[in-house]
């Protein structure tokens, strides 16, 4: 179902990018994009069209004809046949990196060393070690580096967070976050199945870890109680599914996560639409269920069930909320909210929401711990492989 969400968001962003295009400010931030990945239009190009202070001025690919074709399609001024060439462009102030997971650390480091601010696709890096290194560089160079966990910027997420921590429903007892994709919807050639590019269900669907930690306000778990990977038959180093239980010190909350890139349909043909990315948070007095937390701009609902009476209330939030107030629009996607925050930070304003460096490092460390507990071991990035090769 995750792939269906992506396709729906492409259409959503195309419509609103066309109908709400904004004239550019003279001080618009000039962005370059590293890669011609499929996610770019929904995650960056269309949202930028509606933001007066953001302009995409360059695209880079390892193949110049591909970059030129992409640039022509999306009316991007400059096309480069290498990532380094784009990073060498002095007019570019910030870059969006949508390369495969295993390449995030290496190219974020190169971009920061080239003096560019970085919006980096999730998961931030291949592991926590890479995450620490690039944040150290960003801090030393006084540059902005943000992990693109777009869903966290949406008002609906902030509403759920406020419900959980309001005290109205008592202490949290249990959480369960899940995300699945139907079998055969991800081609075997896709980067998600590539070990050398830090693929795997937990890496691709790290949303389940992010949501659990965000709604609990937790950092790194004290313990991974259990972690079971269903290995890909094509490459046993890749998890086509992962389920785990996380526990924090002095905390009785039982937190389970489930990610599956190859989930079977019901009776072979019926997609499990009820398995859109969701999280259930059981408190002492109520159960809070957030359906489609990954892309709530398309559709979501927040259902609160009173445990004593069974009474259910449902709410939806597409703008306003505890953090944004009037500074948002109901047609904004999660990516547009994210871009608003990123642009605010670069322009010297206080963002409505932000993901702190330590939170992103804790996210990667949690993923590392789950992989280690499962027996698969942590993922490695291309920058680390270069270092390892140099020592041999």
Catalytic residue at 122? Answer: yes
Structure tokens at 100: 């495969």
> Among 68, 116, 122, 262, which one carries the catalytic annotation?
122
Distances (CA, A) of 192 to 45, 205, 340: 23, 10, 29
- Distance CA(293)–CA(303), nearest Å, equals 12
Structure tokens at 172: 């949290």
Q: Could you give the residue numbers annotated as active site?
A: 122
């Amino acid at each position: 179902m995750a792939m269906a969400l992506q396709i729906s968001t492409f259409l959503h962003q195309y419509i609103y990018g066309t109908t709400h295009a904004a004239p550019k400010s003279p001080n618009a931030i000039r962005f370059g994009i590293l890669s011609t990945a499929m996610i770019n239009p929904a995650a960056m190009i269309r949202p930028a069209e509606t933001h007066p202070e953001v302009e995409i001025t360059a695209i880079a690919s390892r193949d110049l004809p591909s970059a030129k074709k992409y640039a022509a399609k999306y009316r991007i001024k400059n096309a480069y046949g290498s990532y380094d060439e784009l990073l060498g462009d002095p007019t570019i102030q910030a870059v969006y990196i949508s390369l495969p997971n295993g390449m995030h650390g290496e190219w974020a480091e190169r971009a920061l060393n080239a003096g560019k601010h970085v919006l980096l696709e999730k998961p931030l890096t291949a592991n926590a070690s890479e995450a620490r290194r690039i944040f150290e560089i960003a801090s030393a160079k006084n540059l902005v580096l943000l992990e693109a966990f777009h869903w966290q910027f949406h008002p609906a997420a902030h509403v759920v967070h406020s419900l959980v921590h309001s005290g109205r429903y008592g202490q949290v007892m249990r959480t369960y976050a899940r995300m699945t994709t139907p079998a055969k919807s991800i081609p075997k050639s896709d980067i998600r199945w590539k070990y050398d590019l830090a693929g795997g269900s937990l890496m691709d669907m790290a949303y389940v870890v992010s949501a659990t930690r965000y709604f609990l306000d937790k950092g790194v778990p004290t313990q991974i109680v259990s972690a079971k990977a269903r290995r890909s038959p094509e490459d046993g180093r890749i998890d086509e599914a992962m389920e785990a239980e996380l526990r924090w010190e002095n905390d009785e909350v039982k937190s389970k996560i489930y990610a599956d890139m190859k989930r079977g349909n019901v009776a072979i043909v019926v997609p499990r639409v009820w398995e859109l990315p969701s999280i259930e948070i059981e408190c002492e007095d109520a159960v809070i269920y957030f359906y489609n937390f990954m892309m709530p701009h398309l559709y979501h609902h927040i259902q609160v069930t009173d445990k004593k009476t069974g009474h259910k209330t449902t709410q939806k939030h597409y703008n306003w909320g505890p953090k944004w107030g009037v500074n948002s629009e109901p047609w904004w996607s999660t990516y547009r909210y994210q871009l608003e925050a990123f642009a605010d930070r670069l322009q010297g304003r206080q963002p409505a929401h932000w993901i702190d460096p330590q939170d992103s490092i804790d996210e990667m460390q949690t993923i590392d711990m789950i992989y280690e507990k499962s027996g698969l071991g942590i993922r490695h990035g291309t920058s680390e492989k270069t270092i390892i090769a140099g020592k041999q």
